Amino acid sequence: MKPSPEPAPAAPASGKPRAALLCWPRLLAKAGDYAQLARMHRPIGSFLLLWPTLWALWLAGHGQPPEGTVLVFCLGVFLMRSAGCVMNDIADRRFDPHVARTRDRPLAAGRVTVREALWLAIGLSLVAFGLVLTQNGLTIGLSFAGLALAAGYPLMKRLHHLPQVVLGMAFGWGIPMAFAAVTGSVPALAWLLYAANIVWSVAYDTFYAMTDREDDLKIGVKSSAILFGARDRQIVALLQGAFLLLLGLAGLMAGCGPVYYLGLFAAAWLMAWEQYLVRRREPAACFHAFLHNNWVGLAVFAGVLVDALP
């Protein structure tokens, strides 16, 4: 009697499912680094994008912007700010290790690879674009320019001393997009608000640049703080005044009432306090003044919001 043949060895299982399973613990272990790379632990930058967007939504909607549009823009602001931070760190990965404030960032410290950072930036941008697709064609078209500004800003600090202007253009791009989403057009009022936001961005980001001025001089990074030199405070004060003037003109164009101007007065008082904070140009105080601009944006929005109430 012949022995029964031995069963053929089973084909080796594909390694792909196993590899995918093995990736998850690694991804979860790095979740904190990805969150830090996207600055989720420091939402101040998101708020500095959010306030101008809310000014625009409320002025475009005469105090009653569509709720769905407000939700889309709020989520989009946080997503695109995070994507912009990742893009910035990719561009600055060779500079950040030499700056005291940035040397512990995930890319600079080697805890996240450039490839991982690229995928994170792409993922965040795609989710944000998915939100934009719920809006009209003009808003969708404008979003491509916003992405180009966000991607281009990190390169500007290698080309000239006013990368803050491009930052302001990127941070304020939600303004024309908001008007496009609510009204289907981008009127002169939107561009006036946009100009005001650019001026404001140069002012507060100069405070930010003042914290790194000594390190930036050593490694060759350009900034408005280096360009302005000893006259930094005076030039920032002029920019802050121009910001308030442009917002005042925007209020006249939009037919705003006295409560709106009370918001501007509160913003002016807050900016005067910032000038006091940076009087000695100490890095910690300059950084505090930068963070303080969150309250400036909120003061302006409070004026817009309350003034629009029936």
Q: Name the percent of the chain lying above pLDDT 70.
A: 91
- Burial string for 200-215 (b: 16+ CB within 10 Å, else e) reads bbbbbbbbbbbbbbeb
- Tell me if the domain spanning 35-307 has CATH number 1.10.357.140: yes
25 band by pLDDT with thresholds 50, 70 and 90: low
What is the average pLDDT score of the chain?
90
pTM assigned to the model: 0.88
Cβ proximity of 222 and 206 under 8 Å: no
**Each residue of 125-166: pLDDT tens digit?**
999 999 999 999 999 999 999 999 988 888 887 888 898 999
20 band by pLDDT with thresholds 50, 70 and 90: very low
Where do the structural domains in the chain lie, given as residue ranges? 35-307
Residues in contact with 64: Cβ distance below 8 Å, sequence separation at least 6, in sequence order: 308
